[in-house]
Amino acid sequence: MPHFSPIKLSILLLVSAWLGIANTVYAKADPAQSTSWTVAAESDQKLNQFVQSVINGQPDVLVGVYISEVMAYPVVQQPSDNPGFVSSRAEVLTQFSMAARYGTTGILAHNTLAGADFSKIQDSDRVVLVYGDGSLKNYQIEVIRRYQALSPSSPYSSFIDLEDPNEVQISAGDLFNSIYTRGDQVVFQTCIANEGNPSWGRLFISATPYDPVSEFFHAKLRVSSVY
């Protein structure tokens, strides 16, 4: 398990506290599915328009995140000298540089700004990451976790998983390790407002790689088996 220095741990918790203040493949439409395929086609058009609005020619830089009917937001990077930075611009996401060291794409936003839309994300939603050269990576929402911060304004707060009936306390370092060190995934993080405190808790939403081409051919096989 990675060891976190006091400085790195403080950065993680400061970020947590500040958060409170493959191209998609579609089959030819079947008459019985015309409505759903029309919706898919419209979604694909919106994705293409979004991609064109954010690309900048830099192939290794994440520039946008798209979830149909939920968000289509540009992404900015944390300055190299400010790993606790979270954008204060409306409808703008921030990539978490510390998470990238473990192969994870961390997406941060204030819950009073773009992070407010994180609560609209649902299990099995498709996530599309857009890179500067227009290339895409596809993921699917798999896990949604909610935690209470026992000391919301402290950089050393412990946490409690709201799904844990035993209310076991988790340290900040252990929470980071359990969320961000699982390799290739996308993690959305923002705060949970409660009891008048915008930083009362933390919301983590994880997505794993998704292959739309494979899903398309599996869908074709399922349809063929019916007939």
Structurally, the chain folds into a number of domains equal to 1
Question: What is the Cα–Cα distance from 186 to 206, expressed in whole angstroms?
Answer: 6
Q: How far apart are CA 84 and CA 10, in angstroms?
A: 9
Please give the span between the terminal C-alpha atoms of the chain, in angstroms, as a whole number. 51
Residue 155 lies in a domain: yes
Long-range contacts of 90-95, Cβ-Cβ distance < 8 Å, separation of 24 or more: 90/114, 93/65, 95/62
| Pick from 100, 96, 75: nearest CA to 85 | 96
Cα separation of 142 and 159, whole Å? 21
pLDDT digits (tens), the chain, 227 positions? 555 554 555 455 555 555 655 333 333 333 333 344 444 556 689 999 999 999 999 999 999 999 999 999 999 999 998 888 999 999 999 999 999 999 999 999 999 999 999 999 999 999 999 999 999 999 999 999 999 999 998 878 999 999 999 999 999 999 999 999 999 999 999 999 999 999 999 999 999 999 876 554 444 444 444 45
**Residue 185 covered by a domain:** yes
Q: What is the CATH number of the domain that holds 179?
A: 2.40.260.10
Cα dihedral 79→94→202→178 (10° resolution): -80
Residue pointed to by tokens 């979830």: 67
For 134, the domain range is 6-226
Do the bridges between strand 62-67 and strand 126-131 make them parallel or antiparallel, or are there none, so unpaired? antiparallel
User: Does 1 reside within a domain?
Assistant: no
